[in-house]
């Protein structure tokens, strides 16, 4: 039986739209630091991978 959520990309497939309240690299970096997550790990997440190349999301590349 296929575990549909085993692949992180599949589990977070609805992160195609940026839905976090951070809209600049500085505030996002602060949030990640507070939540104990590294920028490197965040860049592996679907929410980053699915949004970083989108028009209007250029600021994500500054992370």
Partner 1 sequence: MAQPLTVTDLAKELVMVMDELNGLLALTEETSLQMEAELARCEQEVARLQEAVKDGEPGAVEELADVSKWAAQLGKEYEALQESVTGLTLGAKGMQKKRKEPAVAKVVTGRPFTFRKQQPPQKPQKWVTVQGKRIPITQGGPPQQGGKQQAPATAPQTQPAQAPAQQVPQAAPAQPAAPPQPRKIGVVKAPSLEAAKATVKKLTDLLDPSLEVAGEAWEPREHTKERIAKTLADRLRGDKEWEALVGVLCESELGITYGGGGDYQRIEEKATGALVSAWAHTAGDGDALSVTMQRAAKDEFGLSDAVLDHLGALSSYSERSLQPGFAGMKRFLRAMYDETQEWLSANGLDSVALFRGAGVEKGFAKSGEVAEVQLQPMSSFSASPEMALTFCGMADGDESAVLYAAVPRERILGTCQSGYGCREETEMVVLGGSTQMMVAGLTSELRARLPARDLPISESWTKRSVNEVILPAIVEQGGPENAQP
Give yes or no for residue 60 binding partner 1 (CB under 8 A).
Answer: no
Q: How far is the CB of 34 from partner 1 (least distance, A)?
A: 4
By CB under 8 A, the residues from 18 to 57 that bind partner 1 are 19-21, 31, 34-37, 41, 45-47, 50
Give yes or no for residue 12 binding partner 1 (CB under 8 A).
Answer: yes
Contact with partner 1 (CB under 8 A) among 7, 24, 58, 62: 7
- Half-sphere exposure (Cβ direction) of 21: Cα atoms closer than 13 Å: 2
Contact 14, 23 (CB under 8 A): no
Cβ-based neighbours of 25, under 8 Å, separated by 6 or more: 59, 60, 62, 63
């Amino acid at each position: 039986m296929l575990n549909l959520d085993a692949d992180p990309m599949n589990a977070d497939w609805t992160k195609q739209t940026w839905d976090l309240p951070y809209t600049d690299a500085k505030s996002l970096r602060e949030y990640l630091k507070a939540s104990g997550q590294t920028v490197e790990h965040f860049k592996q997440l679907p929410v980053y991978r699915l949004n970083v190349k989108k028009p209007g999301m250029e600021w994500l590349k500054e992370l």
